[in-house]
């Protein structure tokens, strides 16, 4: 197993306990990486599915994430100033403690981080779902600009945490859902998010040292699947497919799947199971045996 760079990131007691359980299980681990405006608990249903299919699962939070949605809403300031590389290092620190090279599944900015982890050669197989754009991914559709405007509209948000209004959440995440489900998801899952990663992504192609850089051609990247929601406003098809095109030059297996009629909420809404099964099928086919 290739070793990730040594990091100084401090994992929480709960995260270390999850890692210990995964190591003790003897099963192939799957590491889940959430994106902005969610907590690691958003993966709970996915984790149950993967564990029922013979895997162990680990879902670290981003550094300083509160444990619950309620706590997150009481202290939105805790999300401020979390930058892409610091968050990536936190996940690399978790992977470094696993006894077996894991599968990695990420959504949105978690999908970008999953690709960065794969580029470091420490993922056995990777699934990136509606991934935020890394450096070199050029399309910038109008809907992505509108979805990012609650953050990008005020430069001071680079130092702040930002909470979406229900209307902003509906446009960026829940545009394919009815209002009842959209409100339920907003209530159950939505928390504040760091503004700075969106600024990092927005200027990535102007900064050769951008923390959003992905090593698309890494020889030890492993198999990778990009999953796109057909009607995603936040990460539209053009962005996801451009990432796939960059990865397709790699000699490792690279695949692209578009889920019809789905928006950015595809990992948490009523259709989460279809997306999770798509990821599971790819990992079962191309990852280590369980």
Q: Is residue 153 part of a domain?
A: yes
Residue 5 has pLDDT above 90, yes or no: no
Residue 251 has pLDDT above 80, yes or no: yes
What tokens appear for 27 in the block?
């099963």
Cβ 79 vs Cβ 160: under 8 Å: no
Q: Is residue 84 part of a domain?
A: yes
Q: Is residue 228 part of a domain?
A: yes
- pLDDT per residue as tens digits for the range 94-112: 999 999 999 999 999 999 9
Residue 8 has pLDDT above 90, yes or no: no
Q: Provide mean pLDDT across the span 154-177.
A: 97
Average pLDDT for the chain: 95
Give the number of domains in the chain: 1
β-pair partners for 21? none
At 190 the pLDDT is 98
CATH of residue 256's domain is 3.40.50.1820
At 214 the pLDDT is 97
3-state secondary structure 249-260: CCCCCEEEEEEC
- Name the band, by pLDDT with cuts 50, 70 and 90, for residue 139: confident
- Name the band, by pLDDT with cuts 50, 70 and 90, for residue 3: very low
Does residue 8 or residue 222 have the better pLDDT?
Answer: 222
Q: Is residue 1 part of a domain?
A: no
Tell me which residue range forms the domain holding 259. Answer: 13-286
Give the integer Cα–Cα distance in Å for 119 and 221: 5
HSE toward the beta carbon, residue 112, CA cutoff 13 A: 27
Q: Provide mean pLDDT across the span 42-54.
A: 98
Does residue 289 or residue 147 have the better pLDDT?
Answer: 147
Q: Is residue 78 part of a domain?
A: yes
Phi, psi of 3 (to 5 degrees): -100, 135
At 2 the pLDDT is 42
At 193 the pLDDT is 97
Residue 228 has pLDDT above 80, yes or no: yes
Q: Is residue 6 part of a domain?
A: no
Q: Provide mean pLDDT across the span 116-144.
A: 95
Residue 182 has pLDDT above 80, yes or no: yes
- pLDDT per residue as tens digits for the range 260-274: 999 999 999 999 999
- pLDDT per residue as tens digits for the range 63-106: 999 999 999 999 999 999 999 999 999 999 999 999 999 999 99
- pLDDT per residue as tens digits for the range 120-131: 999 999 999 999
Q: Provide mean pLDDT across the span 113-121.
A: 98
- Name the band, by pLDDT with cuts 50, 70 and 90, for residue 9: low
DSSP of the chain: -PPPPP--PPPPHHHHHHHHHHHHHTSPEEEEE--TT--GGGGHHHHHHHHHTT-EEE---STT--SSHHHHHH-GGGGTT--HHHHHHHHHHHHHT-SSPPEEEEETHHHHHHHHHHHTT--SEEEEESPPPPTT-----HHHHHHHHHHHT-GGGGGSEE---HHHHHHHT-TTS-HHHHHHHHHHH---EESHHHHHHHTGGG-TT-TT---TT-TT---EEEEEETT-SSS-HHHHHHHHHHHTTSSS-EEEEEETT--GGGGTSTTHHHHHHHHHHHHHHHS---
Q: Is residue 150 part of a domain?
A: yes
Q: How many beta carbons lie within 10 A of that of residue 158, not counting itself?
A: 19
Which residues, at least 6 apart from 267, have a Cβ–Cβ distance to it below 8 Å?
42, 43, 46, 107, 129, 275, 276
At 1 the pLDDT is 39
Q: Is residue 3 part of a domain?
A: no
At 140 the pLDDT is 86
Q: Provide mean pLDDT across the span 178-182.
A: 98
At 153 the pLDDT is 95
């Amino acid at each position: 197993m290739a070793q990730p760079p040594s990091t100084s990131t401090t994992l929480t007691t709960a995260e270390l306990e999850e890692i210990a359980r995964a190591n003790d299980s003897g099963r192939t681990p799957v590491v889940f990486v959430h994106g902005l405006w969610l907590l690691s608990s958003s993966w709970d249903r996915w984790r149950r599915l993967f564990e029922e299919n013979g895997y162990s699962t680990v879902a670290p939070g981003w550094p300083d994430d509160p444990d619950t949605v309620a706590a997150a809403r009481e202290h939105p300031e805790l999300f401020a100033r979390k930058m892409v590389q610091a968050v990536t290092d936190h996940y690399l620190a978790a992977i470094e403690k696993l006894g077996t090279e894991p599968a990695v599944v990420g959504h949105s900015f978690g999908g970008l981080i999953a690709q960065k982890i794969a580029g470091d050669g420490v993922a056995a197989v990777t699934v990136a779902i509606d991934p935020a754009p890394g450096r070199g991914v050029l399309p910038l559709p109008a809907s992505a600009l509108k979805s990012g405007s609650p953050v990008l509209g005020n430069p001071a948000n680079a130092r702040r945490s930002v909470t979406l209004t229900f209307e902003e959440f509906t446009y960026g995440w829940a545009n394919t859902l009815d209002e009842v489900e959209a409100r339920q998801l907003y209530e159950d899952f939505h928390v504040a998010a760091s503004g700075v990663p969106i600024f990092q992504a927005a200027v990535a192609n102007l900064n050769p040292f951008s923390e959003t850089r992905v090593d698309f051609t890494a020889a030890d990247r492993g198999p990778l699947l990009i999953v796109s929601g057909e009607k995603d406003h936040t990460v539209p098809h053009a962005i996801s497919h451009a990432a796939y095109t960059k990865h397709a030059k790699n000699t490792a297996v690279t695949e692209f799947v578009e889920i019809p009629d789905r928006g950015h909420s595809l990992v948490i809404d009523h259709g989460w199971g279809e997306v999770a099964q798509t990821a599971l099928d790819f990992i079962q086919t191309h990852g280590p045996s369980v």
